[in-house]
Structure 1
Amino acid sequence: MSAADDRIFLLAPSLAMLFLAGLLGICWLNQRQQRFLLWLCSAYALTALYLGIRSLLSPEDLDHHATGIGTLYLLGSWCLARSFAERRRVSTHPGLALLIGLVALAALFYFTHIDQNFWDRLYSFNLGIALILLLPVSDVFKKPRAKDWLNQTLLWSYITYALFTMARPLLVSLWGHTGLGGAMQPNSLYWATTLMSVLFFALLFTVLICAVTMRDIVSQLRSERDHDALTKTLNRRAFNEAARLRLADQRLHPIAILAGDIDHFKRINDGWGHERGDRVLQLVSATLQRNVRSPDLVARFGGEEFVLLLKCIDLAGAGRLAQRIRLELGADNTVLPHEAQLTMSFGISAVKASAQLDSALKEADRLMYSAKNAGRDRAHTAGVLYPDAGPGLQMLAATP
């Protein structure tokens, strides 16, 4: 190839890296909460700048500016590590990264200007890069790891890139038998391998990151669709979908429906304001969720009404749960003024199949209003109760 063709070949990976950086920058502008995208964009931009300058300089000029150019590559590698750490919510250990970076730059300066040993220069600098990249990995393995294949592929691709960076000088020297100075030539086997490997892993990371980010966005949208924004409980539609799935699993039976309504909620809103009312709803939601198990369901059906689906429990057990919730709410004075007491009324019904869900919800709702008409702050149920069901719990006939 001509010199012009060589230059185009050498610059192509850096231009591709700049394109990927711009793509990730656009993604970050639309998803600013995904901060790791900004760090990955910075990593690509700095690496592209390093590759472009490194490809254009002659070996003599490269020696003269080696420390400054190496700093760009180190900063790009740290930004890549920071992006990975942000994604996994772990630390990059910046103090240790700074120490490794300074040692790598010192070695680069020493083997360039004092003891001119090209391979020691490559080995020490690539080792520093790899160590910076691997800093967040130990913390990742200490945390519960995501089991989905996308996150696992991203993790091991990142580790492979760090290890390949460390081993690249050795692999190329064994493969190409390059002389001492040959690796520093712009069209050398080592530099071509560096360009292609950096571009390959950048493309791989971009594809995986975009896939993971899109999946996270879809999951977030689905969560927002399925959950009440104020209380973070399920909404009516999501409850009905999840309830039917649980009712189809015979291992979860017997199943009970518990419908609860906050007593005098309109009085709370009118007397102390809607902000206080919102805090009451959040307190009730937290209390309900604290008292259920997995895979029980908690949903806000609208206004001040909540519905629970309880697995592996009979009516008496559901009644005792309602009593426990009543007592916890009555003892909590953190939201309402001290002279006021927070209470709820409950209705409890049994459900045996998904086809009976609607009728069971209506029955629980009817019993809840029966509890309100009987004086509030109590639970009404249909069926047989154990003697220790507790005060405030009354058994009613299953039909009006």
Structure 2
Amino acid sequence: MHTSNDYIYVLMPSVSLLFLAGLLGVCWVIQRQQRFLFWLCTAYLLTATSIGIRSVLKLELLNHYVVPVNALFLVGAWCMAKSFSVRRGVLMPPMPTASVCVATLASLYYFVQIAPSLVGRIQAFSIGAALVLLLPVSPVLKRGLSDDWLDRALLWTYVSYAVFTMLRPALVMCLGTTGLSNAMQANSTYWVTTLMSILFFALLFTVLLCAATIRETLNQLRIERDIDMLTQILNRRAFHELAQRRLADQRLYPMVILAGDIDHFKRINDNWGHAKGDEVLQLVSNAMQHNVRNQDLVARFGGEEFVLLLTRIDLQGAEQVAKRICMELRHDQEVLPQGPVLTLSFGIASIASKEQLQGALKQADHLLYSAKNAGRDRVHVEGRFYPDISFENTKPEDYYTMSLPL
């Protein structure tokens, strides 16, 4: 017979799981794109309901409802596996999942109604629930372990919970004859140990999952802050931050700043629309990334203006990089209609220390505009003499309209 204290004691894990389910449900409502939160919330809700019913029902009633109560727990295990698989981006194999669930419930029915066996039904259910939990683990391991300690801790916590669930029958056997005879009592050592272990793993898994999710959210916010969404390269703010780090490393010198600008970009937008202009910007950013190394920086400063910081290179080498970019874009005939070619102008300046960054940017920008004034589609390099000429209309007005339909 249960006392009121017994009920309070054995229902605490269920109440705690319901609290965690509510917390995860609120998080999912706020972050709808994080679908794994919904599945984990559902898993905790079903598990709390199952163990709560199991804890308060008297034995004579429990024997009549063993299959549906444990089926509820099994669906909760499936939801937890679904949450894990969604977060890791793997698929839950439908046929093996259905087979394990059907086999588990059939074995449970057999050991309850046909050949009653307490040990048999505990073993059958524990193994079945563990197999459901382990279904997404193999696809995750095939992808390889993450280098991040938080992701690895989350994975091994999940695996540990599944393994513990499978080894639960061994715990029953270790309890001896007395333990087996009262294992289904709500206040038995076996059941209390089961409740505490479920709550412990749920708390640990939730803490690790929330920590990983918060960090991923912060990383996503940082990416949105630092990356130009159209071209997927650095923006002006991120360039200045990362450039200071590069310039502080003496091993990366000599360094060079390149300022590049798309020639006649306004005419591209006016004649073929802003969608075509966006394609051109993406093409240019891709060409620049193809021609630089890992330690180099490529950024869009705004509009059609790009800036590159090249490391371990001199002015002559940087000039060759700029010419390769121009050559690659000049021969690309897929973005713009037949007729005009896509060209860039560049200004190139050296940089000797981080204190010179602003000055080098101004010098490169000055050389860029001297290249524009000299006729565009040119690379002007610091230290060389260029005639001081200035004329704006370097192409005939119909240059970018010659291929438009009449």
Residue in 2 that maps onto 1:290: 290
User: Distance in 2 between the 1:178 and 1:94 partners?
Assistant: 40
SS of the equivalent of 2:381 reads strand
User: Distance in 2 between the 1:175 and 1:293 partners?
Assistant: 64
Q: Confirm or deny: 8 A CA contact 2:13 2:196 kept in the other structure.
A: yes
Residue in 1 that maps onto 2:199: 199
* Between 305-314 and 175-184, the greater mean CA deviation after superposition: 175-184
1:341-368 alpha-carbon deviations (Å, 9 max, x no partner): 2211111222221111111111211221
Say if 1:145 and 1:373 are closer, same or farther in 2 by CA, change over 3 A: farther
1:332 partnered with 2:317? no
1:347 partnered with 2:360? no
- Number of aligned residues: 388
Q: CA deviation at 1:24?
A: 0.4
Aligned residue type for 1:143: R
Say if 1:177 and 1:308 are closer, same or farther in 2 by CA, change over 3 A: farther
Residue in 1 that maps onto 2:187: 187
Aligned residue type for 1:76: G
Residue in 1 that maps onto 2:19: 19
Residue in 2 that maps onto 1:279: 279
SS of the equivalent of 2:183 reads helix
Q: Confirm or deny: 8 A CA contact 1:172 1:189 kept in the other structure.
A: no
The residue correspondences of 1:209-228 to structure 2 (distance < 5 A) are 209-228=209-228
User: Distance in 2 between the 1:267 and 1:50 partners?
Assistant: 68
Q: CA deviation at 1:144?
A: 4.1
Q: Confirm or deny: 8 A CA contact 1:257 1:310 kept in the other structure.
A: yes
Residue in 2 that maps onto 1:270: 270
User: Distance in 2 between the 1:133 and 1:212 partners?
Assistant: 20
User: Distance in 1 between the 2:327 and 2:237 partners?
Assistant: 29
Q: CA deviation at 1:28?
A: 0.9
Q: CA deviation at 1:147?
A: 2.3
Q: Confirm or deny: 8 A CA contact 1:176 1:189 kept in the other structure.
A: no
SS of the equivalent of 1:183 reads coil
Residue in 2 that maps onto 1:126: 126
Gaps of at least 5 residues in structure 2 are 390-406
* Between 187-196 and 171-180, the greater mean CA deviation after superposition: 171-180
User: Distance in 1 between the 2:319 and 2:82 partners?
Assistant: 51
Q: Confirm or deny: 8 A CA contact 2:179 2:190 kept in the other structure.
A: no
**Superposition TM-score, scaled by structure 1 size:** 0.91
User: Distance in 1 between the 2:196 and 2:291 partners?
Assistant: 56
Q: Confirm or deny: 8 A CA contact 2:179 2:189 kept in the other structure.
A: no
Q: CA deviation at 1:161?
A: 0.8
1:233 partnered with 2:233? yes
Residue in 2 that maps onto 1:61: 61
Q: CA deviation at 1:43?
A: 0.8
SS of the equivalent of 2:36 reads helix
Residue in 2 that maps onto 1:389: none
The residue correspondences of 1:308-319 to structure 2 (distance < 5 A) are 308-319=308-319
Q: Confirm or deny: 8 A CA contact 2:172 2:179 kept in the other structure.
A: no
Residue in 2 that maps onto 1:299: 299
1:209-258 alpha-carbon deviations (Å, 9 max, x no partner): 22111111111111111122222211111101101101111222222212
Say if 1:178 and 1:290 are closer, same or farther in 2 by CA, change over 3 A: farther
Residue in 2 that maps onto 1:371: 371
Q: CA deviation at 1:172?
A: 4.0
User: Distance in 1 between the 2:56 and 2:307 partners?
Assistant: 68
Q: Confirm or deny: 8 A CA contact 2:258 2:308 kept in the other structure.
A: yes
* Between 28-37 and 270-279, the greater mean CA deviation after superposition: 270-279
Give the aligned CA root-mean-square deviation in angstroms: 2.1
User: Distance in 2 between the 1:334 and 1:36 partners?
Assistant: 41
Residue in 1 that maps onto 2:38: 38
Say if 1:365 and 1:177 are closer, same or farther in 2 by CA, change over 3 A: farther
Gaps of at least 5 residues in structure 1 are 384-394
Q: CA deviation at 1:336?
A: 2.1
Aligned residue type for 1:194: T
Say if 1:344 and 1:176 are closer, same or farther in 2 by CA, change over 3 A: farther
Q: Confirm or deny: 8 A CA contact 1:380 1:396 kept in the other structure.
A: no
